[in-house]
Amino acid sequence: MKVLAIETTTRVGSVAICAAGRILSEMELAGEMNHSEKLLPGLEKLLGRENLTYRDLDSVAASIGPGSFTGLRIGLTVARIIAQNLGLKVVGVPTLDCLAAQVPAATGLICPLIAGVQKQVYYALYDKSPKGKLRKLTEYNLEPVAELIKSVKKRRPTIIFTGEGLSLHKQEIVSALGEKALFTAPGVWRPQAGSIGLLSGCYRPQKWPRLLPLYIRPSEAELNWGRRRGH
């Protein structure tokens, strides 16, 4: 079963092909936040590396957010088009789940962070079994980082933070939590398409129209539309 995986929710996207529980090939989309121009050429190059065509694929997996609204729309649109044209099933993987899964097996809670607007962060809390199985303990949240800190202070001692939200909020977390907070290396702060492909086996495949973004909050365009209508 060959899975084509797409990740476009962050500044630097990536694509991968996975099969039999391993990553066959993975590549970043060069540059930042220009997925509309780089995603399709990147997919063609990736398939060429493995001497594959789209017809060799069995399913398509994509990161569904939260994350960049523009990046999400581009990645999901391409995934849906490929799946529709080839009659493939699709799998949506929440970006926070991907970030948590990239944390090496360890004791303590795992808290991936994705930066939102106005000092807000998207996050959820997870733990891992001794065998490395990921378990989500909370809903997906969008809150000011101060509220996140207040919430995790009530939890058990060690919390492992990860994700690009740390580039903005790490010092505030250190100041508030001290030794209770641990941090992953920056190399795993960004979700990777290979991880999306490997995780896709944990989610139910769907038909392409059901591949939808996980926004958690409305986009700015939707908020502005609501304001104009007096909502």
Residue spans per domain, the chain: 2-95+191-228, 103-188
| Euclidean distance between CA atoms 106 and 37, whole angstroms | 39
Digit-coded pLDDT (tens) for 2-61: 999 999 998 889 999 999 999 999 999 876 556 668 899 999 999 999 999 999 999 999
Residues 6+ apart with CB under 8 A from 184: 102, 103, 104, 160, 161, 162
Categorise residue 178: left if φ over 0, alpha if ψ from -120 to 50, beta otherwise: left
Low-confidence stretches of the chain (pLDDT beneath 70): 31-36, 106, 218-231
Answer whether 44's CB lies under 8 Å from 193's CB.
Answer: no
Topology (CATH) of 2-95+191-228: Nucleotidyltransferase; domain 5 (3.30.420)
**Which tokens belong to 223?**
């908020």
Q: Can you give the pLDDT at residue 35?
A: 63
> H or E segment at 114?
strand 109-115
CA dihedral of 208, 46, 10, 160, whole degrees rounded to 10: 100
> Among candidates 185, 174, 170, 214, which has minimal Cα distance to 76?
214
Q: What is the DSSP string of 65-80?
A: -SS-HHHHHHHHHHHH
Categorise residue 52: left if φ over 0, alpha if ψ from -120 to 50, beta otherwise: beta
Same fold, 2-95+191-228 and 103-188: yes
Q: Give the chain's largest Cα–Cα span.
A: 54
The CATH class of 103-188 is alpha beta
Q: Can you give the pLDDT at residue 117?
A: 85
Axis crossing angle, helix 35-49 with helix 69-86, rounded to the nearest 10:
40
Q: Which amino acid is at 220?
A: E
- pTM for this structure? 0.91
